[in-house]
A = this chain, B = another copy of it.
């Protein structure tokens, strides 16, 4: 699946081109494989814009960048054997040839393969380092997370609970909110579609928010800023409400609350934490094994042709947990 043109606003079917080419033999020092699972992430929208960011944009005509799980079908690489399951940034394609750089073997006995794209992959690691390192989580903190039923948000809330904090999730719809408090152990959930988020935060966090982990931006970010505790940390992970804007990003009008609350707002890029990924994945894996963290996945079965429509589910809030495309 190649990028055909740069989308303006919402990504549509005409922004992509499905090109069929003969699968190549791997060649010396390489392996070939077939894609089993493709990760769909809000950050993908940013990669489609031609502007400087933490990664170069996907070029027109290039295979769409994506993390995936690949099963090795042929190998001339000493570290990868036929049948191995491997994760890496292999892109949105059915067949893959790789020299192994950036590829990591996964253990399907330890967790189901798609978990390595979610709770044990970038979303889980993003939640872990964003909350603990950037957010500098402390005992007794009140944590609020937006996009709380998403891949990152559901992990943020559960990690904060595992660390003994009080957690309030913001999500869209009664079903997601019920899931947060009923299944994932959140202390409270706020439905931004039907509730006044600012007032609801005042109710659920009367002493203010110590850590606000933002995945959405826009009005929800402003509502959180209006409810900060002193020395609060606002973690800027993403802004899914703003990614498809054609009228300019809505800046947080309440940013001067940072002054009154002596608070900080900080961004981060997960790749900077690569040296500590193994350590973090081990701790997350322990929580999963102990039943303290539930893996929340939304698996769509289909082909790479389903990638464009599946991607749009993210921006309509139609997924609950990590959105994955499982190839037939």
What number of A residues sit within 8 Å (CB to CB) of B? Answer: 33
Within 8 A of B (CB), among A27-63: 52-54
Question: What number of copies of this chain does the assembly contain?
Answer: 2
Give the CA-CA distance A302 to B54 in the complex, in Å: 55
| Bound Cα distance A149, B38 (Å) | 54
Rounded to whole Å, the gap between the CB of A328 and the closest CB of chain B is: 36
Beta-carbon contact of A255 and B260 below 8 Å: no
- Distance between Cα atoms of A58 and B265 in the complex (Å): 29
Across the interface, name the chain B residue whose C-beta is closest to A234: B265
Q: Does A267 contact B (CB under 8 A)?
A: yes
Q: Nearest B residue to A257 by beta-carbon distance?
A: B267
Q: Are B272 and A267 in contact (CB under 8 A)?
A: no
Given A250-B253, A251-B250, verify A264-B264 contact (CB < 8 Å): yes
What residues on B are CB-neighbors of A82 within 8 Å? none
Q: Contacts A264-B266, A272-B262 known; A252 to B250 CB distance under 8 Å? A: no
Q: Are B259 and A54 touching (Cβ within 8 A)?
A: yes
Is A239 a contact partner of B256 (Cβ separation < 8 A)?
yes
New A-B contacts (15) at CB < 8 Å, excluding given A249-B255, A260-B269, A263-B266: A53-B260, A54-B259, A54-B260, A217-B256, A236-B256, A242-B256, A251-B253, A251-B254, A252-B252, A257-B267, A258-B266, A259-B267, A262-B268, A262-B272, A264-B265
Known A264-B265, A266-B263, A266-B265; contact A249-B256, beta-carbon cutoff 8 A = yes
A78 contacts the other chain (CB 8 A): no
The verdict on A261 contacting chain B, using a C-beta distance below 8 Å, is: yes
Complex Cα distance, B6 from A54, in Å, reads 46
Contacting residues, chain B, for A250 (C-beta < 8 A) = 251, 253
A235-246 interface bits toward B, Cβ cutoff 8 Å, 1 = contact, 0 = none? 011110010000
